[in-house]
Amino acid sequence: MARVILFNKPYGVLSQFTDGEARATLSDHITLPGVYPAGRLDRDSEGLLLLTDDGRLQARIADPRFKTAKTYLVQVEGVASDEALDQLRRGVRLKDGMTLPAEAERIPAPDLWPRDPPVRFRKSVPDEWISLTIREGRNRQVRRMTAAVGLPTLRLVRWRIGDWTLDRLAPGEWREVRVG
């Protein structure tokens, strides 16, 4: 039976257990031996990170060939037009090629924890929240996709990976589930 850890990675924490530069890492929050991240989340992104002690499960979650759905709540600068959302749904051309089509929709501002540091606020520039579900995992993909359609990302929170969600986990908290 595999162990799976659902972890709400705070902003500013690296998705690894060690760092030579004394930055915050997973070891500041998780002291369980033998579990490793299944995929990663950039230091400036927040939300669900899965860790497991099962190498095959880790590969299945992280490897883009398996197309595990990952849902992000994204605060963008600007107003998400129907055209921008349609572009995301069709796939976006990035420097490393076309993305797969995504699920994209406007959502009301979610009831999330405050981010530290807070997202910059500019009275003259509107912002909006979208939900974006992708099935691949290129480097900084969500940020690059929203920028490509004219909506720079201000805040990025991964909410779901496959059937696992961040529901009821505060930043820095984790819970263990058994799989198999």
* Residues belonging to the active site: 42
- DSSP codes of every residue in 66-119: G---EEEEEEEES---HHHHHHHHH--EETTEEPPP-EEEEEPPP--PPPSSPP
Structure tokens at 63: 């490897």
- Rounded to whole angstroms, how far apart are CA atoms 171 and 174? 9
